[in-house]
Amino acid sequence: MVTKLDGLARSLPDARDISAELAAAGVRLALGSSVHDPADPVGRLLFNVLAMVAGFESDLIRARTREGMAVAKEKGRLRGRSPKLSPAQENHLVELHAAGSHSIAELAELFTIGRATVYRALERATTSRRLPRRP
């Protein structure tokens, strides 16, 4: 059961394809007390109009979101996700790795972060020339 048409399809052509599949399967569109057959011209028109309105609504939401993000960025309020490690923690992680006393997995567990975060911290340290590359 689909309660909102914008959740049924990603685009108008996609909605038309779904409508064709539903018509081939003998499925009918029920809106309130009226039932519409997607194989019938009026039912097809109604389905297409509803799909267009749902697509328009989705486009409006996307445009408003982009506009709001641009305003927030302009005001300096759009910063993104905060880092998992503070600069001091990242420096400590780099020092421990450079000393060779801990593996990547151990560093990840020690700082309660993922291994990918450890690798990114080490890469940042390497590119900023804080740490020589290991062979």
Please state the rounded mean pLDDT for residues 108-127: 93
Categorize the per-residue pLDDT at 128 as very low, low, confident or very high, splitting at 50, 70 and 90.
Answer: confident
CA 76/CA 73 separation, integer angstroms: 5
Same domain as 95, residue 54: no
For residue 68, is it within any domain?
yes
Number of domains, the chain: 2
Question: Taking the model in full, what pTM does it have?
Answer: 0.50
- pLDDT tens-digit series, residues 12-56: 788 778 878 888 888 877 767 777 777 788 878 887 887 888 888
State the chain's mean pLDDT as an integer: 83
Same domain as 93, residue 46: no
For residue 25, is it within any domain?
yes
Burial annotation 60-73 (CB, 10 A radius, 16+ → b, else e):
eeeeeeeeeeeeee
pLDDT at 133 over 60: no
